[in-house]
Amino acid sequence: MNIEELRTSLLNTNKNGYTRITAEQKAEMNTYCKGYMAFMDAAKTEREATTWAVQAAEARGFVALKPGMDVKPGDKVYLNNRDKSIILAVVGKQPLSAGANICAAHVDSPRMDIKPNPLYETDEIAYLKTHYYGGIKKYQWVTIPLALHGVFCRKDGTVVTVNIGEDENDPVLYVTDLLPHLAADQMQKTGGQIISGEMLNIVMGTEPLEGEGSDLVKLHIMKLLNEKYGVIEQDFLSAELCIVPAGKCREIGLDRSLIGAYGHDDRVCAYAEMEALFNIDVPEKTAVCVLADKEEIGSVGISGMQSEVFEYFMGMLCDAQGVNMYHCFQNSFCLSADVSNAHDPSFAETEDRRNNSQLNYGVAICKYTGSRGKGGASDASAEAMGHVRKTLDDAGVIWQIATLGKVDQGGGGTVAAYMANRNIVTVDAGVPVIAMHAPIEVVSKLDCYETYLACKAIYLA
Ligand code: MN
Ligand code: MN
């Protein structure tokens, strides 16, 4: 063999995905991404994503799974977990003792939550106090248009949905920053201290009601909220209100190859695995799609991936077939579908270029996450990685490898460890993202589409 032949036969080469897709695939990619962008405009919180998923599932013939229900191959079922997370399944030809093919993503994203006693007035400006949720660079969340999403649960138990700042006729909300002219002291601070958590206060208004006494601006805001939503100040105590960037997602770049949106992490994978589930024939093994909440704060709580609601759902399916759920888990596989950091030439010093994912190179497979000496990582086995590699190659999916930054630079985690703890073989994979956890994150259309194809291939494996 000459050197060129040796090179091609022995060395690992990877090419930009655009050199590997056909015109037909590119058209499919664009159609898929239009659907994804519509989903993103409708679903900025876990609640909104769950609502969207329930409606989309029911429109495709999925029914709510109930204890004691009969399930047969081809049945489509779902469990709405208290409007905050959802699990869906298409029952396979083989019994659940053969295991399930699972894709698990999360639908919560970093943001600012409203505190339980948030509304106050100071110096004749009314504000809402916030508590940030997930890992954010606080200085990124000032001086941008913001929207309020969530629910009030009133004293009589009725729940009212709140959405302010998305309709083009709505006002938007705002957090202030200091003018550079007076920022001599501020600019000496470290990035984490430039804007502190207690500075993330939402400007709600400045016009006082006519009358005597204090807090007339605050009273005005409360009056407006009461007129629109029928709530009083105490209703903030039983509310879940989130501050997210206002506005729709947009194509980025003159070639429109990128999508900028709030919360690609991880709704870009959530949408991929949901659409994949909606577009498969009856699979060999039962295909399960998990859209979890609370990943950004440790997958905890009743709606997080550590919740036994997963066992509740899988237990119902297994009971219906007289299968021991532990046997099902033993033979199951899970793709933990979550985003990775895309190579950014402006910050290349934070990455190991040889092991970092890159825009337009397809779905990024990640053997381990964690920090320092792989702390907190699930760390998939060689065999598990081999299974994914073969499955994606056989299906013609464009994929690449990913690790999260240079060793000792930082780190992160996903739901992978919590699925693996259940005795389910688990591998991380997802869409590479630029500026993860920023108010507007960026992904490539090609990677979104290949992640959808990857989820499909996993369900059908
Ligand atoms: Mn994530
Ligand atoms: Mn995240």
* DSSP structure string for 63-102: EE--TT----TT-EEEEEETTTEEEEEE--SS-GGG-EEE
State residue 355 phi and psi, 5-degree precision: -125, 15
Q: Tell me the pLDDT of the chain averaged across its residues.
A: 97
Q: What is the pLDDT of residues 353-411, one digit of tens each?
A: 999 999 999 999 999 999 999 998 999 999 999 999 999 999 999 999 999 999 999 98
| pLDDT at residue 429, as a whole number | 98
> How far is ligand 2, taken at its centre, from the CA of residue 301, in Å?
17
Contacts of 5 (CB under 8 A, 6+ apart): none
Ligand 1 centroid to residue 106 C-alpha, Å? 7
Alpha carbon distance 150, 241 (integer Å): 4
The mean pLDDT of 90-105, rounded to a whole number, is: 98
Report pLDDT for 188: 98
- Give the pLDDT of residue 148: 98
Report the separation in Å between the CA atom of 234 and the middle of ligand 1, taken as the mean of its atom positions. Answer: 34
75 C-alpha to ligand 1 centroid (Å): 30
pLDDT digits (tens, 9 = 90+) for 155-181: 999 999 999 999 999 999 999 999 999
Mean pLDDT, range 78-83, rounded to an integer: 98
Neighbours of ion ligand 1 (CB under 5 A): 265-266, 338
User: Quick check: pTM over 0.95?
Assistant: yes
Mean of pLDDT values over 310-336: 98
Q: Could you say which ligand is closest to the alpha carbon of residue 135? A: 2
pLDDT band of 1, cuts 50, 70, 90: confident
CB neighbours (10 Å) of residue 119? Answer: 20
Tell me the per-residue pLDDT of 340-367, one tens digit each, with 9 for 90 and over.
999 999 999 999 999 999 999 999 999 9
Measured CA to CA, the distance from residue 239 to residue 155 in angstroms comes to: 11
The Å distance, Cα 339 to ligand 1 centre, comes to 6
Average pLDDT over residues 192-203: 97
pLDDT value at position 117? 98
The CA distance from 125 to 400, in Å, is 51
